[in-house]
Amino acid sequence: MPFLPVKRQKIVLACLACLSLYFLYHPHFLPFPSLSSPTSSTSSTSSTSSTSSTSSLIDQDYFWLNVPLRHPVQSFLPLPISPPPPKATIQHRFPRETAEEKAVRLQRLDAVKANFTHAWQGYREHAWLSDEVRPLSGGKLDPFGGWAATLVDTLDTLYIMGMHEEFEEAVQAVQTIDFSHCALATINVFETTIRYLGGLLGAYDLSKGKHPSLLSKAAELAEMLYRAFDTPNRMPITRWDLHAAAQGDAQEAGESVLVAEIGSLTLEFTRLSQITGDPRWFDAVQRITDRLEADQAQTNVPGLWPIVVNARTLDFHSFPMFTLGGMADSLYEYLPKQHLLLNGRTPQYQKLYTTALPMLDAHLFFRPMTPDNRDILLSGDVYVGEASAIPPPEPKAQHLTCFAGGMVALGSRVFDRPQDLAVARRLVDGCLWAYEQAPLGMMPEIMHTVRCAEREHCLWDEAAWHAAIREAFAQDETYANLPVEQIIRDKHLARGVSKIDDRRYILRPEAVESVFFMYRITGEQKYMEAAWRMFTTIVASTTTEIAHAALSDCTGSTPVQEDRMESFWMAETLKYFYLIFAEPELVSLDEYVFNTEAHPFLLLP
C-alpha cells in the first residue's frame, strides 16, 4: 500500500481512509478574525488564569491567550517527583587524540562549517524570515505556517558552531514572528512542535537561559498549540484548522491519526513545563502516553503501535500496519529520550520501550542479503490482519528508519542493556551499506532489498536477487517480460537492491544521526570516517550557488537537483556532522537530550 512516509513529509496530509493527498499550502497570509467581544474573552472557563506561570511571560493582549477553552482540565497530571534512580553515563570516555588526528578532525570541522555558512547566507540573503529558501532559483517558500521555520530551526546550530553574531541577529529576528497570523488553512501540530517549539527551547537551553525572549516566544507558540488539545477527550488535533479554533469553534480529535504525530510531542511540552513550572504542557502530552500504554499489549503486534490510531474513540490498537519508518518513527525514538528528560522519575517510559524493543527486533528488523555477506540489519514493515500470525517483514528500507541504530544505542546506555549495542551496530551498519551501495553514495528515500531467511547465516545468492527483482516488476507492463539484466541497468539497481520505490535524497539526517550516536557512545573511529565519506558525497551532489538542494533522483550516475532545502538540513544533518568532528564535550549526551529535530534540551542534574 502506498503509504507515505510522513515524519518530515511536511506539507502533505496522508488521509488514510481515502489515501488521497491534500496540499495544504495557501499562498496568502490569513489573519485571524478578532474575537467578536474581546471584553468577554477573559472567560472563567479559561484555565490560563490559574496557571499564570507561563502566561506571565507574554503580553496579556496576545491573541491566543484570550481564546477561551471549551474543555479546560480540572486536575493536572503533575511532573513526576519521585527520587530519580542513579544516572547512567552515556558518552564514551574519549582518550586524548594525537596531534595528527586533531589536525584532520579540525580540517573536517571547518569544511562542515563552511558548507553550513554557505547555506545560511543563502537563506539570509534570499529568504530571510520565510520558512525556506529555494536553493536553485533563490525564491522562497512557506510550507510551515510562514513563521521563519529555517531561522527558528537553525538557531541552536548557529550557537553550536560559534557563530555568535549570526545567532544574536537571528534571536532579534525571532521577536518579529507573529503566531496570530498563519499562511496555511491547517497546520501540522507535530511539525510545528518539533521545529518551532523545539527550536526555541533548544536555543534557550543551549544559551543557558540568557535570552528570555526565546522562552516568551515559545510560550506564545505553546498557548496557540494548547488550543489544539481543547477537545472533549483532551486528545490533540494533529492536522489542525487553527482558524476555526481561533473563532472558538467546537473541536474533536481525529479518527485517523498518524501515531508519530500524536505520540511524539512529549519532549517539547515536558521541557516547557520543567522550565516554566506550568503543569499544563506536561499534562497535555502525558494523557497521550497513558493512552499508548493502555493499548500497547492489545495491538496485532503486541508491544508495538500501529501507524494509525483513532484519537476520537481512543482505539489505539486496531490498525494492521507496523513500521519504524514514516508515520510511526519518532514515537519510539521519544521513549528513551523522555525517560532521560524526566531523570527516570517514572518507570513508564522504560516499560514502554523495553516492551517494544524485543518486538521491533523480532518482527521488523531483518538482515538484507549483500554481495559481501555483511552482518547488518535494516528495519522493514509488517502488515498483520486481525487474528492472523505475524508474517516476516517486507524487506523495505526507508531512509527515515535509519534513526533506529541511534535509538537502540542510546537505549542500551539509558536502560543499561549492553546486549542491545550489537543490534544498534548492525542497524547503523545497515544504513551505511545502503549509502555505500549507491553510485553517488546516498541512500534513496525508499528501496526494497532481499531478506535473508536467517539472521545469523546468510550467503549472497545472485539467483535469489534476480528472482526478487522479477517479483518486484511482475506487475509492471514495461518490465515484466524483459531480461533481468536490463531491469538492473535501467532501474539503477545495485546488487542487493530489488527495487527503488522513491529515488529522492532530500538532505535527510537519520543516517548521520545514528552515526553520531554510535560515535559518541562507542568512541569508535570508524564511525567518524564513515561520517566524513557521507558528508563529502552529500555536498558533492547537492551544493548550489545559493545553498544545498534536495535531489529528486540520487540513484543514477548524475544527481538531479530540485529547488527545495528543508529546514532539517541546517537544523539536523549539518549539526550532526559538525558534532561528530567537534570535541566530544560539545553538547554532550550526558548533559543534553536531542528532540527528533536535533534540538538539544538541557537535562536536569
Ligand X SMILES: *[C@@H]1O[C@H](CO)[C@@H](O)[C@H](O)[C@H]1NC(C)=O
Handedness of CA 310, 315, 320, 322 (dihedral sign): positive
From the CB of 31, what's the least distance to ligand X, in Å?
Answer: 39
Question: Among the options 205, 329, 381, 597, which is catalytic?
Answer: 329
Interface with ligand X by CB under 6 A: which range of 12-20, 60-68, 109-117, 365-373?
A: 109-117
CA dist 553 and 382 (Å) reads: 27
Q: Candidates 107-115, 232-240, 464-472, 594-602: pick the segment binding ligand X (CB under 6 A).
A: 107-115
Q: Residue 21 in contact with residue 3, Cβ under 8 Å? A: no
Instruction: Report how far residue 427's alpha carbon sits from residue 450's, in angstroms, rounded to the nearest whole number.
Output: 16
**DSSP H or E segment with residue 365:** strand 365-366
Query: Smallest gap, in angstroms, from Cβ of residue 116 to ligand X?
Result: 9
64 vs 120, beta carbon nearer ligand X? 120
191 part of the active site: yes
The closest alpha carbon to 282, from 86, 87, 73, belongs to 73
Cβ pair 559, 440 in contact under 8 A: yes
Asked if 216 interacts with ligand X (CB under 6 A), we say no
Find the residue with minimal CB distance to ligand X.
114
Residue 247 or 543: the one with the smaller Cβ distance to ligand X is 543
Q: How far is CA 310 from CA 260, 262, 376, 446, 537, in A?
A: 13, 10, 35, 27, 42
Angle, alpha carbons 540-545-550 (nearest 5°) = 55
Which lies closer to ligand X via its Cβ, residue 428 or residue 539?
539
Residue 138 Cβ vs ligand X, minimum distance, rounded to whole Å: 16
Q: Which is nearer to ligand X, 196 or 535 (CB)?
A: 535
Beta strands in 451-506 (DSSP E): 497-502
Active-site entry in 223, 230, 445, 563:
445
Which member of 153, 283, 510, 572 is catalytic? 510
Task: Tell me: does residue 539 bind ligand X (CB under 6 A).
Answer: yes
Q: Which of residues 356 and 579 has its CB atom nearest to ligand X in the complex?
A: 579
Pick from 77, 104, 111, 314: which binds ligand X (CB under 6 A)?
111
Q: Which three cell numbers stand for residue 245?
A: 479554533
Contact region for ligand X (CB under 6 A) — 81-89, 91-99, 111-119, 594-602? 111-119
User: Judged by CB under 6 A, which of 21, 114, 250, 482 binds ligand X?
Assistant: 114
Enter the C-alpha cell of residue 112.
Answer: 562542515
Grid cell 482540565 is found at 73
Please state at what angle helix 149-160 crosses helix 574-581, rounded to 10 degrees: 0
The burial of 457, by beta-carbon neighbours within 10 Å (0-12 exposed, 13-18 middle, 19 or more buried), is given as: exposed
Q: Which of residues 332-371 bind ligand X (CB under 6 A)?
A: none
Among positions 498-537, residues that touch ligand X (CB under 6 A) are 536
**Under a CB-based contact definition with an 8 Å cutoff, are residues 309 and 319 in contact?**
yes
Minimum distance between the CB of residue 135 and ligand X, rounded to whole angstroms?
Answer: 12
- The nearer residue to ligand X, 108 or 211, going by C-beta atoms, is 108
Q: Which is nearer to ligand X, 15 or 114 (CB)?
A: 114
160 vs 538 by CB, closer to ligand X: 538
- Give the range of 108-116, 216-224, 228-236, 362-370 binding ligand X by CB under 6 A: 108-116
Rounded to 5°, angle at Cα 69 from 66 and 73:
130
> Are the C-beta atoms of 143 and 11 separated by less than 8 Å?
yes
Report the residue number, 166 or 329, with the smaller CB distance to ligand X. Answer: 166
Crossing angle of helices 420-436 and 525-542, in 10° steps, is 30
Q: Which of 71, 118, 243, 466 binds ligand X (CB under 6 A)?
A: 118
Closest approach of ligand X to the CB of residue 515, in Å: 16
- Listed in sequence order, the residues at least 6 apart from 591 whose beta carbon sits closer than 8 Å to its beta carbon are 602, 603
Run of H or E residues at 446? strand 446-449
Binding mask 41-60 vs ligand X (x if CB under 6 A, - otherwise)? --------------------
CA angle 39, 249, 70 (to 5 degrees): 70
Is residue 329 among the annotated active site residues?
Answer: yes
Chain residues 239-298 in contact with ligand X, contact rule CB under 6 A? none
Positions in 542-581 near ligand X (CB under 6 A) = 543
CB of 101 to ligand X, least distance (A): 18
Of 191, 223, 268, 429, the active-site residue reads 191
Q: How far is the CB of 195 from ligand X (least distance, A)?
A: 24
DSSP 196: I
Q: Is 124 in the site for ligand X (CB under 6 A)?
A: no
CA distances from 73 to 136, 179, 281, 310 (A): 48, 24, 11, 21
According to CB under 6 A, which one of 51, 55, 115, 541 is a site residue for ligand X? 115
* CA 183/CA 282 separation, integer angstroms: 28
SS3 label, residue 194: helix
Q: Which residues contact 248 (CB under 8 A, 6 or more apart)?
A: 35, 67, 68, 70
Establish whether 558 is an annotated binding residue. no
Residue 174 main-chain phi, psi, to 5 deg: -55, -30
Q: Report in angstroms how near the CB of residue 483 gets to ligand X at its nearest.
A: 39
Contact 66, 35 (CB under 8 A): yes
Size of the site for ligand X (CB under 6 A): 7
Which one of 14-22, 113-121, 278-286, 584-592 is the stretch in contact with ligand X (CB under 6 A)?
A: 113-121
Minimum CB separation of residue 110 from ligand X in Å reads 9
What is the rounded end-to-end Cα distance, in angstroms, of the chain?
46
The residues of the shown chain that bind ligand X, judged by CB under 6 A, are 111, 114-115, 118, 536, 539, 543
Binding-site residue numbers for Ca(2+) are: 596
Binding-site residue numbers are: 596
- Which residues are catalytically annotated? 191, 329, 445, 510
